[in-house]
């Protein structure tokens, strides 16, 4: 039986006094009650009947309790005696979508928007409805549907009824609609001459706008604001603060119980990189800390988990410990902007757990999670936001296993004490069923995947060594230097890392409480996985393991790429136990990841090798005995080209078929006969779908199209892709030939062929 406490208590007096649950909480409880009517077929007219009760603290609780019961059933749990009382950890459990009105999604990797198309809300909101149900099933109660780089058109009069349609789709599932708004809206959408938050006309404009929204959408959630950040307008234009701006709008929302989430992602992206004291990591604290206590009670400052920007590893933002009189929400990122864009499997829950459990030491033991719940400083509001960016893709996030992150986010927002493993197991059961082998294998794939990715993309606190001025995907080690964006790692000929200490560096470390500061300030005590975030050290600096920093960089990249390859084997072991469609989709992505991890590995180690001039003690870097460079093959039609950055192609060069084509590249196999695995490294540009054929002598043994949509139309670390052909029999003297057919401006570009005596090599005679 389902119902709120108020409704069910009178029917079941044995429930006793009201348990300690509140907002959205529930109680799953089995009770026996004497039946009032005779049971059919029973001679005993007053038999005890057993009831499964879903008792909600309120209506939200009934909804979440029902999903919780369904989840227990789906996981095959024992339901004979239920007594499970839950209250969510925090009132704000929202998601943000960065959808644009034209249907595209900023940092979305799974198709177009489920909300917008062609400048308007979609006519068909089926997916939006399904999304709301999905969100409700994991306890999420709010969704801001548009990009924080907000389009002011959303606040135009004709848009309101469209937003009301989305709210209607969300309503049955308890998900409140929210939107991101641009602070300059009073000018751009309202035609005023100013958007100065302290101007009375501006204030009146917001009040009027908010009232109109609530007239159409009485359960509207509120606004998200990105201001004075990455070129967005903001209160600084008028010499006003974030508190001035937030409060004017929050004041208008307050009578309607709406909230204002003001993002702390405020920084100067024109920093002077010559200045050793300049530091983007300091920005949020420097700007917001002085404003503590100045925000209205329905303002929540939305703080990214780290001080930079969703890197593969960052320390916890010091701001969490610095605003006792301000509501705070953490902003996490489910969409894997800097963590492989759902082409790489990266289960982020272990990372989030580290953040949430991190003790800020501001008032006794104060983990971030208890600051967010409002517990530490008795705040009325607080909680969780994740940037999700699901799209029209049939698996919502592209990679079917990436949904473990959305699930995990919801579960942690509800209960941050759950473990990463428990969440992985729950999700796997609910998604793929209760087969033991499936459960163990997928859990084994998920749990180490973050560390794996870190190993080949930027360990020791280097942050993701990606192309930071481009798509944030493949390797681009130098791109973070010599520009104002401030994602610096400060690698030079002698050493690497950014000195953020109080003593000699930018002073960022001093933004933490004294206990935390002490740990980070000292190069000896600093945890090694953040060493280069906090300190600049010579490449010869010796780590606890006895390895030098440079050798660690080499080793971790080799280890990471090897680990990525194991994911393919793990997944293959599930063939027949997973439905064909999802099996094939995950396999394709894992194979791609294994290849791209090698691209990452080679680019990073080559770059550091060149920069430091220090050889790899294991002799791997720069030595590829099993590779044949395309530029060294016998070319017909193909011409050698330089690739930029050089380290994203083997030997810095590739070949391109720039004419009509087809072109070919061939070489003679002069090694022992045997069965080999052949890897062909090529570039799959965003445009065109070149075709490749691989011949041994005149026999075609494989062909494929370069038809993926990787985020670049040039040959580089974003587009470098590996095709692997197993079990190829080669005889000494055979001629291998690759024929490339260019298409749509994509010149069938080829980097190298690698023929390694792999695991599956068996001697072959005859």
Least CB distance to ligand GCW at residue 409 (A): 16
Which region holds residue 434: left if phi is over 0, alpha if psi is between -120 and 50, else beta? alpha
Strand blocks (E) in 663-749: 663-668, 674-683, 690-696, 699-706, 720-730, 735-741
Known catalytic residues are 230, 309, 337
Least CB distance to ligand GCW at residue 147 (A): 6
CB closer to ligand GCW, 106 vs 708:
106
Whole-number Å distance between alpha carbons of 47 and 58:
31
User: Which residues, listed in sequence order, are joined to residue 629 by a DSSP beta bridge?
Assistant: 752
Whole-number Å distance between alpha carbons of 532 and 303:
23
DSSP state of 462: T
Give the nearest residue (CB) to ligand GCW.
309
For 7, the 3-state DSSP assignment is helix
Instruction: Tell how strand 495-496 and strand 663-668 pair up.
Output: unpaired
Whole-number Å distance between alpha carbons of 443 and 90:
27
Least CB distance to ligand GCW at residue 265 (A): 5
Least CB distance to ligand GCW at residue 375 (A): 27
CB closer to ligand GCW, 100 vs 593:
100
CB closer to ligand GCW, 313 vs 379:
313
Least CB distance to ligand GCW at residue 712 (A): 16
Whole-number Å distance between alpha carbons of 160 and 177:
12
Least CB distance to ligand GCW at residue 337 (A): 6
Of residues 415, 399, 251, the one with CA closest to residue 334: 399
Of residues 79, 116, 92, the one with CA closest to residue 24: 92
Extract long-range pairs of 587-593: CB within 8 Å, 24+ residues apart: 589/342, 589/343, 589/345, 589/399, 590/345, 591/724, 592/343, 592/708, 592/721, 592/722, 593/340, 593/343, 593/344, 593/345, 593/564, 593/567
Whole-number Å distance between alpha carbons of 402 and 650:
30
Least CB distance to ligand GCW at residue 703 (A): 37
**Phi, psi for residue 495 in degrees, rounded to 5:** -165, -175
Diameter of the chain measured on Cα atoms: 93
Whole-number Å distance between alpha carbons of 290 and 285:
8
**Residue ranges in contact with ligand GCW by CB under 6 A:** 98, 106-107, 147-149, 226, 265, 309
CB closer to ligand GCW, 205 vs 338:
338
Whole-number Å distance between alpha carbons of 219 and 171:
8
Least CB distance to ligand GCW at residue 166 (A): 20
Q: Are the C-beta atoms of 600 and 717 separated by less than 8 Å?
A: yes
DSSP state of 593: H
Whole-number Å distance between alpha carbons of 652 and 568:
28
Of residues 567, 617, 612, 613, the one with CA closest to residue 450: 567
CB closer to ligand GCW, 104 vs 415:
104
CB closer to ligand GCW, 82 vs 145:
145
Whole-number Å distance between alpha carbons of 476 and 469:
9
């Amino acid at each position: 039986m389902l119902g709120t406490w108020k409704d069910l208590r009178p029917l079941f007096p044995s429930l006793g006094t009201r348990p300690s649950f509140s907002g959205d909480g529930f109680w799953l409880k089995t009770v026996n009650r004497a039946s009032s009517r005779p049971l059919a077929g029973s001679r005993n007219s007053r038999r005890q009947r057993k009831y499964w009760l879903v008792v909600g603290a309120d209506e939200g609780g009934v909804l979440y309790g029902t999903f919780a019961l369904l989840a227990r059933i789906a996981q095959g749990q024992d339901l004979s005696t239920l007594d499970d009382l839950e209250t969510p950890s925090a009132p704000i459990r929202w998601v943000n979508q960065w959808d644009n009105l034209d249907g595209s999604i900023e940092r979305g990797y799974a198709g177009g928007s489920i909300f917008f198309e062609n400048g308007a809300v979609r006519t068909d909101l089926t997916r939006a409805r399904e999304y709301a149900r999905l969100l409700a099933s994991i306890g999420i109660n709010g969704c801001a549907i548009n990009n924080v780089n907000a389009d002011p058109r959303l606040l135009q009069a004709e848009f309101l009824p469209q937003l009301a349609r989305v709210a209607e789709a969300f309503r049955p599932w308890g998900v409140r609609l929210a939107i991101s708004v641009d602070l300059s809206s009073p000018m751009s959408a309202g035609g005023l001459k100013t958007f100065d938050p302290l101007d009375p006309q501006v204030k009146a404009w917001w009040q009027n706008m908010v009232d109109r929204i609530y007239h159409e959408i009485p359960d509207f959630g509120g606004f998200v604001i990105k201001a004075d950040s990455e070129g967005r307008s903001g209160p600084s234009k008028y010499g006003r603060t974030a508190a001035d701006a937030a409060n004017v709008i929050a004041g208008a929302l307050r009578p309607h119980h709406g909230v204002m989430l003001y993002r702390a992602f405020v920084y100067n992206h024109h920093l002077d990189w010559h200045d050793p004291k300049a530091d983007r990591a300091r920005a949020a604290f420097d700007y917001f800390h002085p404003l503590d206590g100045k925000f209205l009670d329905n303002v929540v400052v939305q703080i990214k988990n780290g001080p930079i920007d969703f890197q593969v590893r960052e320390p916890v933002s010091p701001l969490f410990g610095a605003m006792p009189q301000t509501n705070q929400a953490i902003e996490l990122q489910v969409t894997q902007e800097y963590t492989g864009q759902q082409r790489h499997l990266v289960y982020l829950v272990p990372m989030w757990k580290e953040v949430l459990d991190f003790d800020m030491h501001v008032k006794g033991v104060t983990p971030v999670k208890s600051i967010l719940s409002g517990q530490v400083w008795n705040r009325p509001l607080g909680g969780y936001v994740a940037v999700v960016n699901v799209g029209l893709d049939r698996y919502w996030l592209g990679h079917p296993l990436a949904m473990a992150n959305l699930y995990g986010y919801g579960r942690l927002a509800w209960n941050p004490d759950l473990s990463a493993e428990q969440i992985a197991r729950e999700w796997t059961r609910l998604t793929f069923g209760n087969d033991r082998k499936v459960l163990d294998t997928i859990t084994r794939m998920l749990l180490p995947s973050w560390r794996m990715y870190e190993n080949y993309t930027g360990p020791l606190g280097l942050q993701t060594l990606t192309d930071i001025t481009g798509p944030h995907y493949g390797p681009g080690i130098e791109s973070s230097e010599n520009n104002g964006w401030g994602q610096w790692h400060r690698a030079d000929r002698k050493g690497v890392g950014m000195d953020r200490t109080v003593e000699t560096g930018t002073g960022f470390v001093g933004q933490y409480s004294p206990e935390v500061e002490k740990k980070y300030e000292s190069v000896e005590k600093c945890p090694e996985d953040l060493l280069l975030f906090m300190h600049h050290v010579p490449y010869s600096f010796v780590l606890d393991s006895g390895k030098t920093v440079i050798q660690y960089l080499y080793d971790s990249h080799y280890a990471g790429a090897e680990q990525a390859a194991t994911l393919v084997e793990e997944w293959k072991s599930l063939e027949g136990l997973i439905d064909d469609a999802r099996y094939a989709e995950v396999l394709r992505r894992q194979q791609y990841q294994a290849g791209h991890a090698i691209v990452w590995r080679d680019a990073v180690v080559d770059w550091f090798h060149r920069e430091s001039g220090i050889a790899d003690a294991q002799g791997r870097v720069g030595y590829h005995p099993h590779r044949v460079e395309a530029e060294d093959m016998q070319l017909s039609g193909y011409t050698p080209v330089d690739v930029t950055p050089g380290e994203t192609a083997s030997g810095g060069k590739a070949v391109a078929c720039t004419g009509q084509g087809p072109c070919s590249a061939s070489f003679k196999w002069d090694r022992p006969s045997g069965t080999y695995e052949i890897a062909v490294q090529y570039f799959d540009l965003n445009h065109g779908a070149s075709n490749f054929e691989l011949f041994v002598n005149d026999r075609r043994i494989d062909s494929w199209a370069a038809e993926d949509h990787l985020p670049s139309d040039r040959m580089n670390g974003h587009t470098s892709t590996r095709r692997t052909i197993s079990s190829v029999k080669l005889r000494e003297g055979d001629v291998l030939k690759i024929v490339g057919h260019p298409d749509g401006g994509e010149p069938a570009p080829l980097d190298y062929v690698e023929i390694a005596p792999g695991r599956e090599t068996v001697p072959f005679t005859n």
